[in-house]
């Protein structure tokens, strides 16, 4: 495993791999790796000649009142995980390396962002697609791996790849969960023991919504209300949103008549947790979870 901090060096490695007809798998991360990231790395290792992981906490995707400075970081831990998962190159540029001067050009998402997390995080996904455009040009991957815990992000990246004709296959990887059902997340470290016990009911609430669809319920408002009441009954968390939309287009819908996502975000004292289920019209999981 080699640690790369220079864009120029990473580009040379990628171009050399291309010349040798070696496929590159890419896992972009913000570090503080957990089992969810490991699942992405394992899929990337299995499907490509070369596996590249980036670690970059991207300031462009953090709002003025968000947790850029306190976002958890642990390089040594991340390097150990990367070695364990047989990563070939860890690309870990500084902010100054990625943005040596203020950007002259940034990207602005027009669709798939005015719902779910995007509604309350103006500009967040603009920052995501801007940094991913840079990373895709630097790393030149054939395949890029993203976890479905942040399903809106996957939908946004899907639009980026389609609209700009990146020759990249996006590989969605199912949410990795703790035995309780709680989705693995770097932000789980901010939960108290009591909050972590309650947080498992977020996933159970989603399953309640799924069961309604499987049993023939098609009305969005009724499904959402059931999920909301379940969360309120079992947790002291403050609900940011519960929504049901088409997927991956993330359009409003009143009746379940195609692939949909049920997504939630819940605030605890020091953490905001998100989770979702992506379901076919009959309520079956699109991706195993």
What residues act catalytically?
37
Helix axes 124-139, 7-19, angle to 10 degrees: 50
Instruction: Establish whether 171 is an annotated binding residue.
Output: no
Instruction: Establish whether 218 is an annotated binding residue.
Output: no
Instruction: Establish whether 221 is an annotated binding residue.
Output: no
Instruction: Establish whether 30 is an annotated binding residue.
Output: yes
Query: Are the CB atoms for 91 and 11 separated by under 8 Å?
Result: no
Instruction: Establish whether 289 is an annotated binding residue.
Output: no
Instruction: Establish whether 34 is an annotated binding residue.
Output: yes
Instruction: Establish whether 237 is an annotated binding residue.
Output: no
Q: Long-range contact list for 185-189, CB < 8 A, 24+ apart? A: 185/34, 185/36, 185/149, 185/273, 185/274, 186/30, 186/32, 186/34, 186/71, 186/72, 187/271, 187/272, 187/273, 188/271, 188/273, 189/72
Q: Are strands 260-267 and 272-279 parallel, antiparallel or unpaired?
A: antiparallel
CA-based max dimension of the chain: 58
Query: Are the CB atoms for 198 and 231 separated by under 8 Å?
Result: no
Instruction: Establish whether 149 is an annotated binding residue.
Output: yes
Instruction: Establish whether 232 is an annotated binding residue.
Output: no
Instruction: Establish whether 36 is an annotated binding residue.
Output: yes
Pick from 68, 163, 172, 169: nearest CA to 123 = 68
Classify 232 as helix, strand or coil. helix
Instruction: Establish whether 139 is an annotated binding residue.
Output: no
* 54 membership: H or E segment, kind and range: strand 50-55
Instruction: Establish whether 124 is an annotated binding residue.
Output: no
Instruction: Establish whether 259 is an annotated binding residue.
Output: no
Instruction: Establish whether 217 is an annotated binding residue.
Output: no
Instruction: Establish whether 83 is an annotated binding residue.
Output: no
Query: Are the CB atoms for 231 and 266 separated by under 8 Å?
Result: yes
Look up residue 52 and give its two tokens: 């590249």
Q: Burial, 16: exposed, middle or buried (Cβ in 10 Å; 0-12, 13-18, 19+)?
A: exposed
Instruction: Establish whether 16 is an annotated binding residue.
Output: no
Instruction: Establish whether 35 is an annotated binding residue.
Output: yes
d(CA 261, CA 246): 6
Query: Are the CB atoms for 121 and 156 separated by under 8 Å?
Result: no
Distances in whole angstroms, Cα of residue 117 to Cα of each of 106, 151, 242: 20, 10, 10
Q: Which residues are annotated as a binding site for (R)-pantoate?
A: 61, 153
Known binding residues for beta-alanine are 61
Binding-site annotation: residue ranges = 30-37, 61, 147-150, 153, 176, 184-187
């Amino acid at each position: 495993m080699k640690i790369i901090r220079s864009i120029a060096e990473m580009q040379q490695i990628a171009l050399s791999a291309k010349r040798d007809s070696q496929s590159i798998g890419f896992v972009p991360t913000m570090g503080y790796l957990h089992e969810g990231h490991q699942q992405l790395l394992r899929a990337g290792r299995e499907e490509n000649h070369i596996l590249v992981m980036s670690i970059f906490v991207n300031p462009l995707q953090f709002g003025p009142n968000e947790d850029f400075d306190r976002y958890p970081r642990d390089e040594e831990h991340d390097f150990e995980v990367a070695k364990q998962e047989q990563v070939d190159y860890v690309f870990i540029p500084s902010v100054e390396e990625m943005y040596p001067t203020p950007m002259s050009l940034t990207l602005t998402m027009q669709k798939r962002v005015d719902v779910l997390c995007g509604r309350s995080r103006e500009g967040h996904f603009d920052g995501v697609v801007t940094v991913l455009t840079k990373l895709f040009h630097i790393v030149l991957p054939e395949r890029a791996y993203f976890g479905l815990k942040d399903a809106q992000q996957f939908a946004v990246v899907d639009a980026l790849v389609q609209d700009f004709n990146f020759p990249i296959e996006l590989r969605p990887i199912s949410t990795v969960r703790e035995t309780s059902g709680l989705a693995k997340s770097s932000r789980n470290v901010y939960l108290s023991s009591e909050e972590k016990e309650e947080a498992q009911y977020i996933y159970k609430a989603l399953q309640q919504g799924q069961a309604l669809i499987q049993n023939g319920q098609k009305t969005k408002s009724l499904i959402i209300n059931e999920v909301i009441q379940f969360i309120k009954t079992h947790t002291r968390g403050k609900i940011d949103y519960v929504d049901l939309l088409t997927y991956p287009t993330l359009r409003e819908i009143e009746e379940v008549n195609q692939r949909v996502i049920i997504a939630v975000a819940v605030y605890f004292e020091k953490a905001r947790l998100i989770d979702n289920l992506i379901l076919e019209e009959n309520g079956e999981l699109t991706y195993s979870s």
